[in-house]
Structures are given as C-alpha cells and as structure tokens.
Structure 1
Amino acid sequence: EPEFNYDSEPLQRTSYSAETGKVIIYVNFPSTKHYLGDICQFRKALPTQVLIADLVAERCFLEIAKKKVESSGVTLRPEAVHDRIQRDTFELSRKYGKKVHEALVDQNLLIEFKSFEGKVVSNAKGE
C-alpha cells in the first residue's frame, strides 16, 4: 500500500522511501491529482486504482533495477548505467506488472467494468 503525500508543488509523481520501504505518491502532481482528487476522494474508482497500480509498479521496478545494477559488481560505462537500469525496469514490468495490478486493483470492480463495457460494445454493434 503506497503512502500519499500532499506537498503543494511536487516535482514528480512518485518517490521511494528507503526508510519505510514504501512508494510515495504525490497527490498534488497534476496528472495524479486529476484522477485522485484534492484529498484522494476518487481513490477507489477503477481508473484511479489502475493509475495507482501503475505508479507503484513503475517506482518499485525502477528501485529494484537500480539495486540490481548497483550490486551486480559489473563495471559499466557511466553512460551505460541508465540504459541498463531502464532495460531491467522494463523487463521487470513485463514479467511482474500484471501481478501488481492484480494485487492493487479491485478485481471484482474490473470484472464488473468489463461486463458493462462488453454490453455497451455489443449494443453499439447491434447484437
């Protein structure tokens, strides 16, 4: 479960606290505030749950990739370090991203949404 921070003008959407081991989501960052609302009042809405899952996954995978590269003992050219971290982040996302979403997004709400959307699409096609 992430922590929510209400700094008035954050520079980024998320950060990681090594002390608590938690991802911090900055509520007042414009793109997060758009979905979360001023006081996280839309936190349980499906689009917001998906955003939170993406933000948590993105930050977690980045931090894991950084640690992996730092502790690997492999000597990389300084300009190659960023590319290696990014590649490892993408690999983690591809491998574990769905699991993060399954854990953080209400699956019953997702099933309900898909069922409703399927009916809307069928009606639009005249089925």
Structure 2
Amino acid sequence: MASILHLGNISVTDYRDRADIREFSVVERVCHLLGISAEDFKKSLLAPRIKAGRDWVTQAKSPTQVVASLDALAKTLYERNFAFLVERVNKAIDGHKSKDKLGFIGVLDIAGFEIFEVSEYKHKIKLAVLI
C-alpha cells in the first residue's frame, strides 16, 4: 500500500517535449518498496520499448502519457492487492468449514449495495407488518 501512495508523489515535468522525473529519490523509494530496479522503472516509464514488426523501438512519452501510466499502475496495484486480501480472509474463514456458508466476506459495488439495502429495507417492513 505504501508503494501505491508513493506513486502519487512522483512529479513528472516537461523537458523538450519529453517527460522527465523531477525527483529521482521518490522513484527510488517506490521501487525499493516494490523490489524492482529504479533505473529500469524510470526507463520503462519515460521511454518504453515497443515491438514494431521485428524490431524493438524506444518511444518517448509525454508528461500526460506518463501520468496516465502512473495512474493505471496505481489502480492495478490497488486492485490486485485488494483482491488478494479478500481471498486471504475468505480462505482463513473457510478453514472452519461451516455447513451454512455464512462465514465469508464479499465486496459490493454500488449496484450490489443498493440491492442489499433495498432487500434489508423490505425485510424490516415485513417484520413491522407481522408485529
């Protein structure tokens, strides 16, 4: 999680129509947390190599493109970390092997939450009518 937060501290500047990193120490901090090479990360971020036919070409990125790449990386890291956490908690709970399957956690998106909330509301109305 710390690496995701530190990604937001990477400041991208414009240097002759190409992106550059203002403070390399921030990149070093992120890469240390991720366990990857800071130099390789910087090269891949600012000027990734892409395959064009049979050859590999280095493509310079604009600051806007680099910021978009950082945002996408942060989103992906967060998404995978969260999914891993949910899976680990469910495995830990499932270790008790309850027959009723009430021991699990789930994640609701906005639509799922609204459906859950409406069904709870309807359940409370039925109880009130019965009383």
Q: Which one has a bigger Cα radius of gyration? A: 2
